[in-house]
Chain A
Amino acid sequence: MIRERENHTPLAEARDNIVGEGAMAAARIMLPILLALIVGGLILIALGKNPIEYYWYVIRRGLLSPTGFQATIVRMAPLLFIAAGLIVSFRAGIWNLGTDGQFLLAAAIVAALSPVLSPIMPIWLVFVVCFSVAAAVGAGWALIPAFLKANYGINEIITTLMMTFLGISFANVLIKIPFNDPSTTVPQTATLAVEDRLPRLFDTPVHIGVVLAVVAVIGVHVMMTRTSLGLKLQIVGANPRAAIHAGLKVPLLTYAAFCISGALAGLGGAVEILGVWGTMRADWNPAYGLLVVPLVFLARFHGIGSIAIVLFFAILMIGGESASRRLGVPQSYTLVLVALLLIFMALVEFLDHRWRRMKTS
């Protein structure tokens, strides 16, 4: 009797509701992942590969092995920076599909700049300068699409895509001609000495860029949810006319969204060069930008959620790279998984929305 009454107190009901809501939220994320893995697995079977073996290998290599897990964490750095940039842009209603171009250009310039600066400045100053330059380059590369959108209302999907293609080629031109290191056989920039790269944590390959990336994502989340700038950006994204009506400076905010987003993508490029490679080869394009888009959507632009999903994806990438050598399943399979993830996420969203509407009627 007494227990029954306890379960019906308002507190208990609230607790049940939170648990219920939490379970629903978790399901909304887990279900698309599960479905994507299953359907992807079927494709593997059709190609004569064993999906269980593949997935288990990916987990073992990407998550459970110490070196593999470190590689995963290192991989997260550029992905998280891009994710941070996308969170800002998407919440402001801007489709910044140009992160690859911003990433690569910033990387190229940082790769050329850092070996030049490292002999003449204390190392921490080199980092500060390089990060600032990377952010400026990334923001600058986003200016043209920002201008076209703010002034002519031109759809930024097209302009940012074009700028990406331009950026890829331009970065290559820079590396092959002005920035080329003549002492190497393949076209690449001068190499930054290992001791001059971003400091490592605890004697592992994990560099502090990872920490910076996590800080960036959390910082962006806090900015969007707890500052006036963040709220203004969200309003512009949600209802531009209401933003005008409310007296917000929409063109300025549009520029801000583009430039902050581009700057973060640029920082992603810097971190990858300064922390991992120390140099940039021509024709290097890991194309992280477009891949992070679905991850950020899956996390519903939430900071912590993005970190979790990027972690999951990084495990997939690292494990997949290894698996392509060992198991003969090429890296392109990861792309298929990402596409499936996105589609199933949209489907689950849609069904959830339908289910909710039926419940209230």
Chain B
Amino acid sequence: MTRKSNLAIELENISKAFPGVLASDDVSLQFRYGEIHALLGENGAGKSTLISMLSGLLQPDRGQIFVNGEAVALHSPRESLDQGIGTVFQHVLLVPTLSVIENLMLGGGWRQRFDRAASLKRFEELSDLLAVAIGPDVAVGELSLGQQQQVEIMRALWRGEGVLILDEPTSMLTQQGVHELSQVMRRLRENRVALIFVTHKLREAYNLCDRISVLRLGRVVGSIAPERLLGMNEQETIDEVISMMFAREEGHDRDAEVLLASGSPKRRRTAADPSTPAVLSVSNVATTGRAGECPLRDINLDVHAGEVLGIAGIDGNGQKHLAEVIAGQRPVSSGMIRHNDIDITGQKVPARRRLGINYLTDERLGEGTVTTHSVATNLILKAIGEAPHWRWWLTRWGSIHAEARRIIRDHDIRTPSETTLIGRLSGGNIQKTLLARETSVGVNVAIFNKPTHGLDMQNTRFARDRIRDGAIRGIATIVISTELDELIELCDRIGVMYQGRLVGVIDNDEGAEKKIGLLMTGAATA
């Protein structure tokens, strides 16, 4: 790969549209060798679209991509790889049933001989370069997420170290993992690799990258060059980014908070009275899980009316099981769950819903909704067969649709009608529907699993407001989240999940972040 100039990739006036949305709007950017360039923007700003175009998954409608000074058309991932562009996507794209070395060898042509020795050699080269130690014959499904990501980086660089694109790489990592990643990135930078770091967290962009380009609504609204960035402190950077994004907008302070996930969020002032008996009480609960799941081990927690209990922790430490076990979706293998002091351990979802226990799942499309059915149907999804919409097992569609129309109006759900298939709605509106469903009248316990995941700033604010409102109305609330700042903002107490245990529940006061950080690594138990 010749490097005629410092310029690895140049995007010139790139535009890409999908039905109803302009994902990329006249984007022009430059990526240089030996530089870590951050693409910063909220969810929905168009970062993923740009990455997809660079990795050959999509083609631009207009504009031109230059690699090493030459105009190229990247029609497939193979062509992108041929150009030396390696991409590590947000979701792991490794085959879990194959070993590390087999995953890395994937991509060899059909007629090429199976040269294990050569592959192992390259594997060791890259292991040294990245300073990682992973056995080549381990099945990928058995590695931790951080290790899988390292394998992904190796795979992206397999054919040569040219350009490396990292799409939101820290969302699944521990603090330690982020630190290791940043070291890997620095080593690659020293080796003249061009790094593109896509993120929605300003702090990360500031700490880890040399140059920051800011995207909003598909457009590049500004850039901070390395020379300038070196001389700015974090607050100055925050201010500059905000002014870039909201140059012409009013009332952006709260949006900014969300975007930046930065310090001094408003800490929650609790209205709960911990002296009253707990509404929900979980004692010594354990579960069993299949391969790949993290089961619960001896969980104890209490939630009071009007209180917000946060559950922090890296994904995959038992949060899913915790939510499901409280909702009644998963049976306990031992232990007891009490609601207002009544044993409800044996009761399943319908019974618990009748008691007022609701669960908003993190998987909106996979589990929370049925995309081929209407908004109205999805709103009553968990109450099929119950009055007032059912009489003698007959469905009263008129009543269902009337109530759906009311809910759509009251909750500002943007949809052509209540009969529209919910799969057609945007992520934010789907979440609004789910929020409406799970925070309806009569709810007294609500569990929210990653409620703002993948939402843009406006919808994130909306969701957090609704959670807050519910708690004010007296709902005993549990919020599971991987975003620490979200928990700091919303919760009275925060517990940390680690390998299926609740390793500590602390009050949300000064210094909480530090304690939580420690607990998340399993280093200490409070």
Interfacial chain A residues near B394, Cβ < 8 Å: 226-228
Residues of chain A within 8 A of B20, CB atoms compared: 360
Contact call B361/A238, Cβ cutoff below 8 A = no
For B327, the closest partner residue in chain A by CB is A245
Q: What number of residue pairs across chains A and B have CB atoms under 8 A from each other? A: 71
Smallest distance from the beta carbon of A223 to chain B beta carbons, Å?
Answer: 9
B353 at the interface (CB under 8 A from A): yes
A244, CB-defined interface residue at 8 Å: yes
Q: Find chain A residues with CB under 8 A from B393 CB.
A: 227-229
Chain B residues within an 8 Å CB radius of A135 = none
Cα distance, A129 to B390, chains bound together (Å): 33
User: Which residue of chain B has the shortest Cβ distance to A247 in the bound complex?
Assistant: B349
Contact across chains for A246 and B366 when beta carbons are under 8 A apart: no
- The complex places the Cα of A234 from the Cα of B371 at a distance, in Å, of 12
Contact of B373 among A226, A238, A360 (CB under 8 A): A238
Known: A228-B395, A232-B385, A361-B19. A238 touches B367 (CB 8 A): no
Minimum distance in angstroms from A230 CB to a CB of chain B:
8
Contacts of B367 in A (CB 8 A): 239, 241-242, 244-245
A247 touches B19 (CB 8 A): no
A246 and B395 contact, Cβ closer than 8 Å, known pairs A235-B370, A241-B367: no
Q: Is the CB of A361 within 8 A of B395?
A: no
Taken together as a complex, chains A and B put the C-alpha atoms of A82 and B361 apart, in Å, by 39
Q: Does B444 contact A (CB under 8 A)?
A: no
Name the distance in Å between A213's Cβ and chain B's nearest Cβ. 23
Interface of chain B residues 77 through 94 with chain A (CB within 8 A): none
State the Cβ distance, A268 to closest chain B Cβ, in Å.
Answer: 25
A248 part of interface (Cβ distance < 8 Å): yes
| Chain B residues, CB < 8 A from A357 | 19
Contact A360 B350 (CB under 8 A): no
A197 to chain B, nearest CB (A): 35
Contact status A246-B384, CB under 8 Å: yes
Q: List residues of chain A with CB within 8 A of the CB of B222.
A: none
How many chain-A residues does the 8 Å CB contact rule pick out? 22
Q: A228 and B390: CB pair below 8 A?
A: yes
How far apart are the CA atoms of A227 and B395 in the complex, in Å?
5
List, in ascending order, chain B residues with CB within 8 A of A235's CB.
Answer: 370, 373, 381, 384
A247 touching B348, Cβ below 8 Å: yes
Q: How far is the CB of A239 from chain B (nearest CB, A)?
A: 5
Q: Does A166 contact B (CB under 8 A)?
A: no
Interface residues of A in 219-274 (CB under 8 A from B): 225-232, 234-235, 238-239, 241-242, 244-248
Question: Which residues between 105 and 159 of chain A lie within 8 Å of chain B, taking CB atoms?
Answer: none
- Give residues of chain B (356-387) contacting chain A, Cβ–Cβ below 8 Å: 359, 361, 363, 366-373, 377, 381-382, 384-385
- In this complex, what residue of B is CB-closest to A361? B19
Query: Contact between B328 and A245 (Cβ–Cβ < 8 Å)?
Result: no
List residues 21-57 of chain B with CB under 8 A from any CB of chain A: none
Other than the known A225-B395, A239-B366, what 18 A-B pairs have Cβ atoms closer than 8 Å? A227-B393, A227-B394, A228-B384, A228-B385, A228-B395, A229-B393, A230-B395, A234-B373, A235-B381, A242-B366, A242-B368, A245-B349, A245-B361, A246-B349, A246-B382, A246-B384, A247-B382, A248-B384
The 10 A-B pairs of least Cβ separation, nearest first, read A247-B349, A228-B385, A361-B19, A247-B350, A360-B19, A239-B370, A246-B382, A241-B367, A245-B367, A238-B370
List 22 A-B pairs, Cβ < 8 Å: A226-B397, A227-B393, A227-B395, A228-B385, A228-B393, A228-B394, A230-B395, A231-B377, A234-B373, A235-B384, A238-B371, A239-B366, A239-B370, A242-B366, A242-B370, A244-B329, A245-B382, A246-B381, A247-B350, A357-B19, A360-B20, A361-B19
